[in-house]
Amino acid sequence: MKMTGAQAVIECLKQESVQVVFGYPGGTVLTLYDELYKHKFPHILTGHEQAAIHGADGYARASGRTGVCFATSGPGVCNMVTGIATANMDSIPLVIISGQVATSLIGRDSFQEADISGITTPVTKHNYLVKHAAELPRVLKEAFYIASTGRPGPVLVDVAKDIFDTVFEYEYPEVVHLRGYSGTYTGQAYDIDKAAAALEQSACPVLLTGGGVILSGMAEPLREIVEKTRIPVVTTLMGKGAVADTYDAHLGMVGMHGSYAANMAVTNCDLLIAVGARFDDRVTCDVENFAPNAQIVHFDIDKVEINKIVRADISINGDLRWSLPLFSRKVSQSAVDFTARQADWRITVLDMKQSHPFATRRMAHAVSPQVLFEEVSRRTDEDAFIVTDVGQHQMWTAQFFPVQRPRHFISSGGLGTMGFGLPAAMGAKVACPDKQIILFTGDGSIMMNCQEFATLHKYGIDVKVIVVHNNVLGMVNQWQRMFYDGHYSQSVIRDNPDLPTLTKAMGVPGFSVREPAELPAALDTLFAVSGPALLDVFIPEDENVYPMVPGGKRLDEMVLGGVDA
Amino acid sequence: MMRRHLAILADNKPGVLTHVAGLISRRAINIECINAGYTEEADVTRINIVVSVETDWELDQAIKQLAKLIDVIKVVNLDAAPFVGYELAMIKVKCTAAGVREELTNLARLFHAKVVDVQRESLVFRLTGREDHIEALLKMLADYEIIEIARTGQIAISRGVVPVKEM
């Protein structure tokens, strides 16, 4: 069938069952947007391209489907680079279609020209520059395939402006031929037998859940293993929700702001089974002394991750969709009485969990972050999606807010992108319109994409935004307090605008609360609003996130602080 | 430091070298040289790189990271089996007197180099060989005035019948 490049893009989106595009128009994508207009293709116009890509990212994280964005050349798609890097670090499937200047103008420093395939090479799973219309269907087919298979990631397709206008014979390929990429990864079954044998022999095992469990949709078989063995569980930030936080031997997050029990359990265990985790430095801290007594079993789809940071004694390299069901079956058939074998260890870790819970100060005249999270949690069910921005509030959310289901905790982990939260929460709501979406953000983070309250209002996207407001860039401030003699260099932001006034100007009702006694009623008011709303909750400026492992220290050298510090 | 010869087979498409070079810089892989060229298959490019690594772990990471690139079909460490590796160098030397030209031509013969350009003021040596061979000639030429050097860096191929694509 004859059609233009722009028609071909829309046709490809339909073939790939894309339901919505997040984007922002501009000079080089006028023909593409004209086609979008003719097809009435669902599109969310954000206030900034960065929000479009975080929106598509939040959409992908909440739904598991590939998020799609459009942007124009130069400044348009350059504004997406942070979002592309964010998705790349957390392995989120995205396809970004950007306009490039016309082929005759490429390389001449033309108006709004930027070499975006060059710029994004280090932060995409793959990228393309399309200069011939006939390539477009194949490239888009490959882009969607590469983004969503294997270890997922963002793929950028940069299309020269004239290609959108070129008429050519369209045919969408049915299959992808890539000699350097298969998309399916299975490993050796005997590696799984070795892992199972190691678990059978272990008296003090720990299971470390990573984001891969959630990305692969393999929380179920993992939970079967947990159910059968009652193994103590620790999680990375990205793995939160893989195993329900309410599981009694879930010790919480491990790492720099991990729980006492999680950090001590990893330090003292004799077997660490890491599943879909990549041993980020925020998890391992002093990597030379990470899990020093443990045999390490590493399940991961990405060969590169095996032995990259932590040397694995047993590695199971392959898709968790292949390995975890097999591992689960192996464990369920085992004759070993895991609970009896691990009984002493279980008592030890449960003791640590009970004696050192996460805590912040409880104050009579100021809202304690811990109380805030407990109050919000009381008002939501387990099907609510919890989204965060980046900073202290992010760590507190991870510490205090119980998450029961995979995909229900959404946060920028690897890149730690402030400004991610609001647009990502918006994208999550677009993906799951009948679910409750709650964003926890900070007064620093929220200002980085606060223009998106207008987008929430425009489309009636119901996100409940809770600002944990401490008048400082909390995490920076905490480090300055602890390691820079209290020199609060550029981290005090008391002159921020009044947030409820700001959101009201954009059509979103906002409230603020300062007194602990008024918090429950304020939350009730927030949740009673139909549609998006903001609650600005003031907390003390000097609250620290504890435990904290100072830079370069071992997990068991964490500073506890907390309740009465 | 260990020097290792990697043969990379990649799709012969625009952007492939950018992807390979981008990865090398972002993963801080130390490379001694890189070159690329056509192969016996029209749609396959072979990129030859020599990396210097401190440890086997570093080498293993470099190979796995390169292999992960979508347009890279295969990466083989040629040092794992017997191989031959050579480099081409072209060296332009100043020579204005007939006696000097005579000396330089003698040197070329001793080193099995060819003189491929002769002008009134200069001549150009072409030498193919192992790196130490080229270095030895350069050492001898230090007594003369070298105007310009162009070198390919090593390319390498395994000994025996099995090609990289079947390794």
Q: What is the pLDDT of residue A562?
A: 53
Helix (H) or strand (E) holding B163, with range, is none
Our count of domains for chain A comes to 3
Chain B CB contacts of A121 below 8 Å? 18-19, 22
pLDDT score for B83: 96
Identity of the residue in A122, A125, A179 whose CB atom sits nearest the CB atom of B73? A179
Identify the pLDDT of residue B27: 86
Share of chain B above pLDDT 70, in %: 100
Contact A216, A320 (CB under 8 A): yes
Cβ-defined contact of B60 to A307 (cutoff 8 Å): yes
- Same-domain pairing of B76 and B88: no
Instruction: Give A-chain residues touching B61 at CB under 8 angstroms.
Output: 304, 308
Look up the domain containing A509 and give its range: 369-545
- Given a cut of 90, whether residue A388 has pLDDT beyond it is yes
User: What span, in angstroms and rounded, lies between the C-alpha atoms of A200 and A314?
Assistant: 14
> How near does any CA of chain B get to the CA of A122, in Å?
6
Query: Distances in Å between the alpha carbon of A514 and those of A440, A467, A518, A521?
Result: 17, 12, 8, 12
* pLDDT-derived band at B21, boundaries 50, 70, 90: confident
Q: Does B114 lie in the same domain as B71?
A: no
DSSP label of A275: E
What's the pLDDT tens digit per position in A45-65? 999 999 999 999 999 999 999
**CATH number of the domain where residue A416 is located:** 3.40.50.970
Say if residue A351 is in the same domain as residue A478. Answer: no
pLDDT tens-digit series, residues A178-211: 999 999 999 999 999 999 999 999 999 999 999 9
* pLDDT-wise least confident of A90-94, A176-180, A361-365: A361-365
Cβ distance of A180 and B73 shorter than 8 Å = yes
CATH label of the domain that carries residue B23 = 3.30.70.260
Q: How far is B55 from chain A (nearest CA, A)?
A: 13
Confidence of residue A148 (pLDDT cuts 50, 70, 90): very high
DSSP assignment of A305-367, as one string? GTTTSS--SEEEES-HHHHHHHHHHHHHT--S-HHHHTHHHHHHHHHHHHHS-------SSS-
Average pLDDT of the residues in B33-42: 94
Asked if A319 and A184 touch (Cβ cutoff 8 Å), the reply is: yes
Task: Assign B29 a pLDDT band (cuts: 50, 70, 90).
Answer: confident
Selection from A446, A470, A465 nearest residue A508 by Cα: A465
pLDDT in tens, A407-453: 999 999 999 999 999 999 999 999 999 999 999 999 999 999 999 99
Distance (Å, whole) CA A161 – CA B82: 51
Confidence of residue B28 (pLDDT cuts 50, 70, 90): confident
Q: Which two tokens stand for residue B28?
A: 């801080």
Whether pLDDT at A563 is above 50: no
Number of domains in chain B: 2
Does residue A260 contact residue A207 with C-beta atoms inside 8 Å?
A: no
Round to whole Å and give the CA distance between A259 and A545.
11
Main-chain phi, psi angles of A465, to 5 degrees:
-105, 125
Which of B49, B80, B111 is the last residue before a domain boundary? B80
* pLDDT band with cut points at 50, 70 and 90 for residue A397: very high
Chain B residues in contact with A185 by the CB 8 A cut-off are none
Q: pLDDT averaged over chain B? A: 94
In a shared domain, residues B61 and B42: yes
Asked whether residue B162 is domain-assigned, the answer is: no
* Averaged pLDDT for residues A494-499: 96
Residue B22 has pLDDT above 90, yes or no: no
One domain, residues A347 and A433: no
**A551 domain-assigned:** no
Query: Could you tell me if A139 and A206 lie in one domain?
Result: no
Which domain CATH number covers B92?
3.30.70.1150
**Residue A558, in any domain of the structure:** no
Among the residues of A418-498, which ranges form H helices? 421-431, 445-448, 452-459, 474-483
Within this chain, do residues A203 and A81 fall inside the same structural domain, yes or no?
no
In the predicted structure, residue B1 carries a pLDDT above the cut 90:
no
Q: Is A287 on the interface with B (CB under 8 A)?
A: no
The confidence score (pLDDT) of residue B64 equals 95
Residues B110 and B144 in one domain: yes
A383 and A294 in a single domain? The answer is: no
Q: Are residues A455 and A432 in the same domain?
A: yes
- Domain ends where: B53, B80, B107? B80
Which residues of chain B from 116 to 135 reach within 8 Å of chain A, CB to CB?
none
Residue where one domain finishes, among candidates B47, B80, B113:
B80
Written as one string, the DSSP assignment of A532-561 is: -EEEEEE--TTPPPSSB--TT--GGG-B--
How far does the CA of residue A324 sit from the closest CA of chain B (Å)? 23
What residue numbers bound the domain in which B119 lies?
A: 84-155
Q: Are residues B96 and B63 in the same domain?
A: no
What is the ipTM score, two decimals?
Answer: 0.89
Q: Is the pTM of this model over 0.90?
A: yes
Residues A460 and A498 placed together within one structural domain of the fold:
yes
- Mean pLDDT estimate for chain A: 97
Amino acid of residue A228: K
Q: Are residues A457 and A510 in the same domain?
A: yes
Residues 59-98 of B with CB under 8 A from A: 60-61, 64-65, 67-74
